[in-house]
Amino acid sequence: MPYYKIDSVTPVVHPSAYVHPTATLIGDVIIGEGCYVGPGACLRGDFGRITMEEESNIQDNCVVHGFSDSHTIIRKHGHIGHGAVLHGCIIGEDALIGMNSVIMDYAEIGEGSIIAASSFIKNRFTCPPRSLVMGAPGKIVRSVTDDELKWKQTGTQEYIELSKRCLTSMVECIPLNAIEEDRPALQSRSHQPKN
């Protein structure tokens, strides 16, 4: 498990959080209760602090970093999509950052907001709660609907459950060289892409 202390500062991971063995945590990183950190994610607390609050998730190949004395925060139920980059910003409670988005320094993403996939959020950008933001540079296009927020919350709940599944059943293994006759199937999930 690649955890690294730097300048005597050691990452902190709550026992109920799941951090994939290929993720990297360096220095001043604090992972809260029930969080999920996916494969290949890199949380570099070698300049500023990084905090994941309760039941937030950072998915595969995300990068989180910040300048000296910064504090990058993902608030409770924050949901960070595959390949996103967060740098010295604050992600509000129940907000969703879409895949491959970049959120720059001192940006503040309001509670319940959704940042569309591949958006670029400039430094010091602030959006009010429940904003839908799209583009490069990102612009507020409208408010997040109740339906969209519910869809986001369902997706986050899937990652809360995934953290538990990983802690209880994920183990390193040697692959089979053929498909077994009675191959088990993963449980079907109701959460699907939004139209």
pLDDT in tens, 104-150: 999 999 999 999 999 999 999 999 999 999 999 999 999 999 999 99
Distances from the Cα of 109 to the Cα of 35, 52, 66, 148, angstroms: 19, 15, 16, 16
Model's pTM, two decimal places?
Answer: 0.94
For residue 163, with 0-12 CB atoms within 10 Å meaning exposed, 13-18 middle and 19 or more buried, which class applies?
buried
Torsion-angle region of 124 (φ positive above 0: left; ψ -120 to 50: alpha; else: beta): left
What are the residue ranges spanned by the domains of the chain?
Answer: 3-143
pLDDT in tens, 20-52: 999 999 999 999 999 999 999 999 999 999 999
Looking at 2.160.10.10, 3.40.50.300, 3.20.20.80, 3.40.190.10, the CATH number of the domain 3-143 comes to: 2.160.10.10
What are residue 132's phi and psi, to 5 degrees?
-100, 120
- Alpha-carbon gap, residue 156 to 193, rounded angstroms: 13
